[in-house]
Amino acid sequence: MRSNLGDDPDVVVIADMVGLDEFAVVGRLHRLWSWLDQHSESGTNVRISSAFVARLCGQEGFADALIAVGWLEGGDGAYTFPKFDRHNGSSAKRRDSESKRKSRSRKEGQLSAPKADICPHTMRDREEKSRDIDSLPREEPEGVAPSNPTWEQVQAIAAGQMISTDIAERWFDDMEACGWLDAKNRSIKNHHHALKAWATRYQENEAVKKSRNGSGGGRVNRNAGTTNNPSEYAGR
């Protein structure tokens, strides 16, 4: 997905039509295109309905808004997504094609092998070993730190959790300042959980401050409510 998608004039039109801000629209587009990337190779004649798009994106009228800007064509049961490759990566489709190619190659190799060289007992032993290996639990390599999200990815995460852009930006700046470490100096692994927890504590803290100051409105100063340790809320 493009990093400057939020600046696209079509996104502005969609936001106006469905009554959301641009960041919320970007998050929903990311959700929709991610689903599409997993279930369609071409983006044409996709057997879904406008009601499904609304459920998937959590917004009524989202399909109609996409049609209005030319990002969706057709109707229920046969939708087409123009410029499919522009919005979706090819990683999943490439892995699927490579898997199929390897499978065909193995089958061709078995068919071309001389029958005299194939021992039924040997083939059975190989198949049993293969099943045993596949049944072993796969573990993540130790000592490898998770990659840190970009600001665009944080925007998408915040939109999916209905967290304001202002709070998401404060969290992102704090995480950049502390090197994406939590209060125990450990790398943050679950950025969705960390942002949600930080946002909840931040809002509670702001509510307490407003209650003490007797103030009920106005924009809070960007640096207000932050701590000397930016990672204090992270990962809790």
For residue range 183-222, list pLDDT tens digits in order. Answer: 778 888 898 999 999 899 989 988 888 888 875 544 444 4
**Nearest-angstrom CA–CA distance, 34 and 195:** 21
More confident of the two residues 37 and 136: 37
**Nearest-angstrom CA–CA distance, 49 and 45:** 11
**Nearest-angstrom CA–CA distance, 14 and 26:** 10
Contact predicate 85/44, CB 8 Å: no
* pLDDT tens digits, 132-175: 555 544 444 555 556 888 988 989 999 999 999 999 999 888 88
Among 134, 130, 128, 42, residue whose Cα is nearest residue 88: 42
Going from the C-alpha of 173 to that of each of 81, 178, 179, the distances in angstroms are 35, 9, 10
Query: Domains of the chain (ranges plus CATH)?
Result: 5-87 (1.10.10), 151-232 (no CATH)
Contact predicate 22/108, CB 8 Å: no
Q: What is the pLDDT of residue 143?
A: 52
Residue 224 predicted with pLDDT over 50: no
Contact predicate 187/160, CB 8 Å: no
pTM given for the model: 0.39
Mean pLDDT of the region 87-113: 61
Mean pLDDT score across all residues of the chain: 77
Q: What is the pLDDT of residue 24?
A: 93
Q: What is the pLDDT of residue 213?
A: 80
Q: DSSP label at 73?
A: E
Residue 109 predicted with pLDDT over 70: no
Amino acid at 13: V
